[in-house]
Amino acid sequence: MLRSCVFLLLLPICFFNTVSAGKVLAWPTDASHFLNLKIILEELAHKGHEVTLLAHSAIMIMGADNISSFKFENFSVPFPKEKNEKFLEEFLAFWIYDVPQMSYWKFYEETKKFVSEQLKTDKLVCDGVVKNELLLKKLKAEKFDVLVSDPLIPCGELIAELLGLPFVYSFRFSMGNSMERLCGQLPAPFSFVPGSMAELTDKLTFLERIKNMNFYIFQDILFHLIFGQFDAYFSEVLGRPTTLCEIMGKAEIWLIRTYWDFEYPRPLLPNFEFVGGLHCKPPKPLPEDMEKIAQSSGEHGIVVFSLGSMVKNLTDERSNVIASALSQLPQKVIWRYSGKRPATLGENTVLYDWIPQNDLLGHPKTKAFITHGGTNGIYEAIYHGVPMVGIPLFADQPDNIIHMKTKGMAVMLDINQMQSQDLLDAVNTVINDPSYKENAMRISQIHHDQPVKPLDRAVFWIEFVMRHKGAKHLRPASHDLTWYQYHCLDVIGFLLVCLLMVLFITIKIFSFCCRKCRPAKRKQKKH
Amino acid sequence: MLRSCVFLLLLPICFFNTVSAGKVLAWPTDASHFLNLKIILEELAHKGHEVTLLAHSAIMIMGADNISSFKFENFSVPFPKEKNEKFLEEFLAFWIYDVPQMSYWKFYEETKKFVSEQLKTDKLVCDGVVKNELLLKKLKAEKFDVLVSDPLIPCGELIAELLGLPFVYSFRFSMGNSMERLCGQLPAPFSFVPGSMAELTDKLTFLERIKNMNFYIFQDILFHLIFGQFDAYFSEVLGRPTTLCEIMGKAEIWLIRTYWDFEYPRPLLPNFEFVGGLHCKPPKPLPEDMEKIAQSSGEHGIVVFSLGSMVKNLTDERSNVIASALSQLPQKVIWRYSGKRPATLGENTVLYDWIPQNDLLGHPKTKAFITHGGTNGIYEAIYHGVPMVGIPLFADQPDNIIHMKTKGMAVMLDINQMQSQDLLDAVNTVINDPSYKENAMRISQIHHDQPVKPLDRAVFWIEFVMRHKGAKHLRPASHDLTWYQYHCLDVIGFLLVCLLMVLFITIKIFSFCCRKCRPAKRKQKKH
C-alpha cells in the first residue's frame, strides 16, 4: 500500500511537464457560461500564468470584475448593459413559456428573430476588438501564448486568427451539436447519438431515429441560416474569403463541459476532452443560519432548491404551486428565490436570494436537489451523489434532466403543467426509493474515478497548446474534406457509375449477340 | 514553481482511487504480442494484484516463464511446441518474400490457408480451457476480478464469458481494423482513416479513397470468412446461438497499443484508450562491451540495427547487401543478427544475438535506428527521439514505417529491392538532414507530454473495471444496432419511400386534373 502511494506520488513528477509562466488571453461569454471558464482561468492564474480578459463595457453577470488574479483589457461597445439584460429577460420568458407549445417552423422563425438580434449585438461587440486597431496593436505587442474562448458567441476565434494565436475552446454544446459536428468534425451517427436538445436518449426506436435525423438536419439548416451570417463578417475582417466554420475548425482543443457520467457514450475525436464538473469542489462549512436549519432537520434532512442564477421570478400561480408542495415535505427546504414571497410558503421552507449551492449539496443532511437542470448544478449533484427532481425551464435543461433520468438519478417535471402533488410525489420518490440514491452514488463514483481530475485535464491541454504552440497532431484530416468527400459519396457515386456502365455494356453485348444469333437460326430453319 | 510542484504532488492523492489487491486472469498471445501485455501484467502484480497466466504447453517466446510475480495455470494441448515454431517460420517467409508480389485474390487464398491452419490450432488451444471442466471449475473457484486478453487469438473473451468476468483487451490492431470496427464499434470514416495495413496515410486522393474503401470491404469479407468460423465454436461452447463479434463486443475497455504520436488523428470511442509505448523506459547502462563501442565511435556516434525478435535469418545476398552498406558508414553499427556472418561485414559493425534495444536507443551516442518497423521498436525510437530507417518485412510493419515517414522521422526501404547504396543513403539522410532529428524530438515530446503515462492509464482502466465490475458507462448503444440501423439506412429508405409516394400522388393528382381540364376545354371549343 505504501509502495503504491509512493508510486502515485512520483507519477506526476515524471510526466507532468510544467510550463514556464505564459500569457493567456480569454474571450469570455457572459451569464452562467462564464462560471466554468472562470474556474479554468483562475487555475491558470494560480499556476503562474498571466491571464488577460477581454471585457466589453456591457458585459453581464461575469462575477469576474472582482477577481484580482486577472488582468482586464476593457473596450467599449455602443449600447448599454441594460439592453443586454432586457434582451436576456425576454429571451428567457420566450423559452420558458412560449417554446414548449411551438412547432419546429414557428420555433425557427422566433429563434431566428432572437438570434439575429443577438448576432447583431455580437458583431458590435466583436467590432470593439477586431476593428479597433489600437487595441489589436496592443494585444499583438503582448505576445500571448494562447487564446481561450467559449464559441457560443463567435469572435474569440477571429481575434486568435488576427493575432496569430493558437486557441482552445471551452464549450458546453451548440444546438444539435452543429458547431462541434460541422466545424469541429465531431462524428455523430444519427442512429445512437441524440442531437443536443433533441430530448432523446441513446436508445432510439425507429420513429425516434427519424426524429433525431430530422432534428439534426433542421439544426444544420438553422446553423447555416443563422451563423452563416458570420461568414461575410469573418471574410471582411480577415480580408480573404473564409467562413466561421473554417476558422472555428482551427481550434486546437475543444474542452467539452460534460463527461461520461452525464453523456451517453458516443464517438469523439482526440482533440475533444470531456471535462465536465471541473468547477466542483469538496463542500465548505455552511453559513451559520443554514447550518442551523440543516441540523434542526433531524433524520429527514434537507432539500435544496434552485432554478439557477438567471431565473429570478415565477408567476404567482407557479410559485404557490411549488411552495404548497414544499410545505408538505417532512424535510426542511432551502429555496433560492428572489421573487415575491408565495402565500402558501410553509414553515419548513426558507427563501434565500443566493445559496452556496455546492456546499449545500455536499452537506451530509442533504437528501435531494430540486433543480432547473443547468449543467453546473447537475454536476454539483453528481459530484456529491445527490438525487434530483428536475424542473427544466429552457435551452439544454430538459435534455440535461433526461440524461439524469436515464441514469436513474432524477425525476422530471414540467414547470407549466405540474401540480403541487406532482412535485411532492417526485421529491418523495427520489428520497424514499433507494434506487435513486444508489444510482446517484454510482454516477458520483464514476465522476470521481478518473485518471486525472477534469480541471487538471483542462489546464493540462491549454498548457500543452502553450508549450507546443498548438496540438496539430490531434487535428483530424477530415477538416480538409468536403461533406460529400467525408461520406465517400463521390467514391460511391463513381463506383456506382462504373457498375452501371459494366451492366450497360454487358446488356448491350448480350442483346447484340442475341440479335446476331436469331437470324442465323431463322436461316437454318429456312434451309 | 514550488507551489506547482506541491499541487502536482497532491493531485494523485485526491484522484487516483486505489484498489485493494485483486485477482487478474490473463489470456496471453505468444510471440512479440506478449511483450506489451507482460508489462501491464507486471505492473498489476507490482501493485499487489495476483496475476494468473493461462499458459498452454506449446506456447512460444513468452519470456514469462521466468517471471516469479505471475502465477501459472498450465494446461496441455495435443501438439508440440515445434509445430507452432515451424508454422511461424513458414508464415514469416510467406509474408516477407511472397506477399509483396501478390494480388488481393491470391493474398486472400494464401492467407486463408495459413489462417485456417492457425485457427484450427487456436481452437485446439481454446479447447484446452473451455472443454476442460476441471480447469474451468478451478478458475471459477478462484473468483477473479477481471480477465485481460489480446484478441488477436480469440478465446480470452469466451473464457471470460464462461467465468462471468468483465474483460479488457490489450490490442495492437486487426487487419483493416475489422475487429475494432465490426465488434468494438470503433468508427472509421473511409475518407480519412486508412485501414490498418492499407499502407495509406490520412491525406487521401480520390483514387486512394477508392483503394481504402475497397480495402476495408475486402478485409470485412475476409474477417467474416475467416473469423466467422468461430461463431459456431462460440455458440457450441456457450450452448446458445452467438457470434465471436457479439462476445468480443462485451470488452469493457480496448487498450490500443499506439498513441497520437504514431496514429493519424481519427474518431474513437470513450472505451478505447490509446496507450502506445507503455513498455518504454529510461535507458539503463549498456553492457561494458557495447558501452566501449559507443564511446569509441567519436563524434559520429552509433547506429542501432535490428529486424526484431522473430527474424533470425536473411538470405546471403540480402545480408551482404546490408553489411556492405553498413561498412561504408562513419558510425559504428550494433546489429542484432543471429544468421550467418556476412562476407562484406565491415570493421565498424558488430553482430549480437540479442541487444538491449531500449537502452541502446536511449544512449546519447545513438544517431539512427535501422528497424523492421515493429510497433515495440518504433515506440522505443519515439520515446528516445531517434530517427529511423525502416526496412519493413511483414504484417503491420510497412504501415508502421509509413506512419513514421509521414511524421518526418523515417526513411523507408524495400527489403527485396534495396541495394547497398540505398541503405547507405537512407542512413546518411536521417543522420545528416537535421529535419529528421527535429521531427523525432518533436514526436518524442508529444509522446512524453501526456496527462498520465500510457502504462499508468492502462493499469488505471483495468483497475477501474475491477473496482466497478465493468465500465458499462463507456459502452456505446450502437452495439445494439444492426449495420443498416447504425447507418440509418432504414430511416433513409423509409423517408425516400415517403418522398416517392408524395411525388407519385402529386403527379397522379396533377395528371388527373389535367385530364379533367382538357375535355372541358374541348367542350368549350365545341360550343
Optimal mutation site among B192, B205, B404, interface A, most CBs of chain A within 10 A: B192
Query: What integer is the mean pLDDT of B294-299?
Result: 95
Asked whether A183 and A269 are in contact (CB, 8 A), the reply is no
Residue A395 lies in a domain: yes
How far is A447 from A276, CA to CA, in rounded Å? Answer: 9
Asked whether B196 and B176 are in contact (CB, 8 A), the reply is yes
* B47 → chain A, closest CA residue: A4
Q: What is the dihedral of CA B230, B234, B239, B240, to 10 degrees?
A: -80
Residue ranges of A 348-377 with Cβ closer than 8 A to chain B: none
Task: Tell me the DSSP string of B455-485.
Answer: HHHHHHHHHHHHHHTS-GGG--GGGGS-HHH
pLDDT at A62: 59
CB nearest B9 (choices: A12, A266, A451): A12
Asked whether A266 and A186 are in contact (CB, 8 A), the reply is no
Q: What is the dihedral of CA B141, B142, B147, B150, to 10 degrees?
A: -100
CA-to-CA separations, A269 to A150, A216, A258, in angstroms, rounded: 19, 19, 15
On the question of pLDDT at B85 being above 90, the answer is no
Is the CB of A494 less than 8 angstroms away from the CB of B4?
no
Q: Residue B154: CB partners within 8 Å, gap ≥ 6?
A: B122, B126, B227, B230, B234, B244, B248
Question: Which CATH number belongs to the domain containing residue A440 in this structure?
Answer: 3.40.50.2000
On whether both A295 and A374 belong to a single domain, the answer is yes
pLDDT at B105: 79
Please report how many Cα atoms fall inside a 13 Å half-sphere around the Cα of residue B526, on the Cβ side.
6
pLDDT in tens, B186-240: 999 999 999 999 999 999 999 999 999 999 999 999 899 888 989 999 999 999 9
On the question of pLDDT at B102 being above 90, the answer is no
H-run or E-run covering B55? strand B50-56
Q: E strands along A223-267, which residues?
A: 253-256
On whether both B444 and B457 belong to a single domain, the answer is no
pLDDT at B523: 52
On the question of pLDDT at A448 being above 90, the answer is yes
How far is B473 from B469, CA to CA, in rounded Å? Answer: 11
On whether both B435 and B310 belong to a single domain, the answer is yes
Share in percent of chain A as helix, strand, coil (round to 5) = 55, 10, 35
pLDDT at B11: 41
Optimal mutation site among B207, B491, B495, interface A, most CBs of chain A within 10 A: B491
Residue B115 lies in a domain: no
Residue B173 lies in a domain: yes
How far is A45 from A48, CA to CA, in rounded Å? Answer: 5
How far is B264 from A474, CA to CA, in rounded Å? Answer: 8
Residue A184 pLDDT grade (very low, low, confident, very high; cuts 50, 70, 90): very high
pLDDT at A123: 92
Residue B61 pLDDT grade (very low, low, confident, very high; cuts 50, 70, 90): low
* Better-scored residue on pLDDT, A140 or B315: A140
> How many contacts does A have with B, using Cβ atoms within 8 A?
204
Please report how many Cα atoms fall inside a 13 Å half-sphere around the Cα of residue A20, on the Cβ side.
0
How far is A380 from A377, CA to CA, in rounded Å? Answer: 5
Lowest model confidence (mean pLDDT) among A381-385, B72-76, B108-112, B345-349: B108-112
* Better-scored residue on pLDDT, A149 or A79: A149
Lowest model confidence (mean pLDDT) among A156-165, A450-459, A507-516: A507-516
Task: Tell me the DSSP string of B82-111.
Answer: HHHHHHHHHHHHIIIIIGGG--HHHHHHHH
Helix, strand or coil, per DSSP, at residue A32: coil
Q: Is A40 exposed, middle or buried (0-12, 13-18, 19+ CB in 10 A)?
A: buried
On whether both A207 and A84 belong to a single domain, the answer is yes
Q: Provide the sign of the torsion angle of the four alpha carbons A160, A161, A165, A170, taken in this order.
A: positive
pLDDT at B4: 42
Task: Tell me the DSSP string of B400-441.
Answer: HHHHHHHTTSEEE--TTT--HHHHHHHHHHHHHSHHHHHHHH
Which chain B residues are Cβ-neighbours of A466 within 8 angstroms?
none
On the question of pLDDT at B48 being above 80, the answer is yes
Taking the Cβ of residue B7 and every Cβ of chain A, the question of whether any pair is shorter than 8 Å is answered with yes
Optimal mutation site among B16, B217, B271, interface A, most CBs of chain A within 10 A: B16
Q: What angle do CA A324, A329, A331 make, to 5 degrees?
A: 130
Is the CB of B477 less than 8 angstroms away from the CB of A264?
yes
pLDDT in tens, A46-70: 999 999 999 888 887 555 555 678 8
On whether both A395 and A468 belong to a single domain, the answer is no
| Boundaries of domain holding A378 | 288-448
B407-411: long-range contacts, CB 8 A cutoff, minimum separation 24: B407/B261, B407/B262, B407/B439, B407/B443, B408/B435, B408/B436, B408/B439, B409/B381, B409/B382, B409/B436, B409/B439, B409/B440, B409/B443, B410/B436, B411/B436
Q: Residue B359: CB partners within 8 Å, gap ≥ 6?
A: B283, B284, B285, B286
On the question of pLDDT at A108 being above 50, the answer is yes
Residue B395 pLDDT grade (very low, low, confident, very high; cuts 50, 70, 90): confident
Residue B77 lies in a domain: yes
On the question of pLDDT at A296 being above 70, the answer is yes
Residue A94 pLDDT grade (very low, low, confident, very high; cuts 50, 70, 90): confident
Lowest model confidence (mean pLDDT) among A355-364, B75-84, B438-447: B75-84
Is the CB of B266 less than 8 angstroms away from the CB of A271?
no
On whether both B374 and B398 belong to a single domain, the answer is yes
Residue ranges of B 486-505 with Cβ closer than 8 A to chain A: 486-488, 490-491, 494-495
Optimal mutation site among B449, B463, B480, interface A, most CBs of chain A within 10 A: B449
How far is the first Cα of chain B from the last one, in angstroms, to the nearest whole number? 103
On whether both B322 and B416 belong to a single domain, the answer is yes
Closest-CA distance of chain A to residue B488, Å: 6
Q: Residue B520: CB partners within 8 Å, gap ≥ 6?
A: none
Is the CB of A464 less than 8 angstroms away from the CB of B486?
no
On whether both A253 and A311 belong to a single domain, the answer is no
On the question of pLDDT at A103 being above 90, the answer is no
* A191 → chain B, closest CA residue: B486
On whether both B269 and B151 belong to a single domain, the answer is yes
With both helix axes pointing from N to C terminus, report the angle between B156-163 and B133-142 in degrees, rounded to the nearest 10: 70
What is the distance, to the nearest Å, from the Cα of residue A336 to the centroid of all Cα atoms in its chain?
24
Lowest model confidence (mean pLDDT) among B63-72, B155-164, B371-380: B63-72
Is the CB of A490 less than 8 angstroms away from the CB of B264?
no
Is the CB of B264 less than 8 angstroms away from the CB of A477?
yes
Which chain B residues are Cβ-neighbours of A452 within 8 angstroms?
11, 15, 451-452
How far is A102 from A341, CA to CA, in rounded Å? Answer: 31
Name the domain count of chain B. 2
On the question of pLDDT at B8 being above 50, the answer is no
Is the CB of B495 less than 8 angstroms away from the CB of A460?
no
- Backbone region of residue B433 per phi and psi (left: phi > 0; alpha: psi in -120 to 50; beta: other values): beta
Is the CB of A487 less than 8 angstroms away from the CB of B191?
yes
The three cell numbers locating residue B13? 492523492
How far is B212 from A477, CA to CA, in rounded Å? Answer: 15
pLDDT in tens, B230-277: 999 999 999 999 999 999 999 999 999 999 999 999 999 999 999 999
Is the CB of A460 less than 8 angstroms away from the CB of B451?
yes
Q: Residue B207: CB partners within 8 Å, gap ≥ 6?
A: none
* Better-scored residue on pLDDT, A147 or A37: A147
Residue B310 lies in a domain: yes
pLDDT at A19: 58
The three cell numbers locating residue A148? 481561450
On whether both A468 and A399 belong to a single domain, the answer is no
Please report how many Cα atoms fall inside a 13 Å half-sphere around the Cα of residue B123, on the Cβ side.
17
* Better-scored residue on pLDDT, B95 or A506: A506
On the question of pLDDT at A302 being above 80, the answer is yes
Residue B117 lies in a domain: no
* A467 → chain B, closest CA residue: B449
Which residue, among B26, B273, B19, has the nearest Cα to B146 in the 3D structure? Answer: B26
DSSP at A181: I
Average pLDDT, chain B: 90
Asked whether A342 and A322 are in contact (CB, 8 A), the reply is yes
Average pLDDT, chain A: 90
pLDDT at B435: 98
Is the CB of B486 less than 8 angstroms away from the CB of A189?
yes
Residue A7 lies in a domain: no
Closest-CA distance of chain B to residue A261, Å: 7
On the question of pLDDT at B481 being above 80, the answer is yes
Taking the Cβ of residue B468 and every Cβ of chain A, the question of whether any pair is shorter than 8 Å is answered with yes
Is the CB of A457 less than 8 angstroms away from the CB of B451?
yes
pLDDT in tens, A400-443: 999 999 999 999 999 989 999 999 999 999 999 999 999 999 99
Residue B520 pLDDT grade (very low, low, confident, very high; cuts 50, 70, 90): low
pLDDT at B65: 53
Which residue, among B122, B240, B123, B111, has the nearest Cα to B178 in the 3D structure? Answer: B111
Residue ranges of A 226-285 with Cβ closer than 8 A to chain B: 260-261, 264-271, 274
Is the CB of A486 less than 8 angstroms away from the CB of B189?
yes
Query: What integer is the mean pLDDT of B147-166?
Result: 95
How far is B258 from B270, CA to CA, in rounded Å? Answer: 16
CB nearest B491 (choices: A209, A474, A488): A209
On the question of pLDDT at B468 being above 70, the answer is yes
Residue B522 pLDDT grade (very low, low, confident, very high; cuts 50, 70, 90): low
On the question of pLDDT at A10 being above 50, the answer is no
On the question of pLDDT at B6 being above 70, the answer is no
CB nearest B191 (choices: A191, A446, A481): A481
* Better-scored residue on pLDDT, B79 or A322: A322
The three cell numbers locating residue B25? 486472469
On whether both B149 and B259 belong to a single domain, the answer is yes
Which chain A residues are Cβ-neighbours of B13 within 8 angstroms?
5, 8-9
Last residue of a domain, one of B424, B448, B472: B448
Residue ranges of A 167-196 with Cβ closer than 8 A to chain B: 187, 189-192
On whether both B314 and B381 belong to a single domain, the answer is yes
How far is B361 from A287, CA to CA, in rounded Å? Answer: 60
On the question of pLDDT at A97 being above 90, the answer is no
Reported pTM: 0.92
Residue B328 lies in a domain: yes
Would the ipTM clear 0.95, i.e. be above it?
no
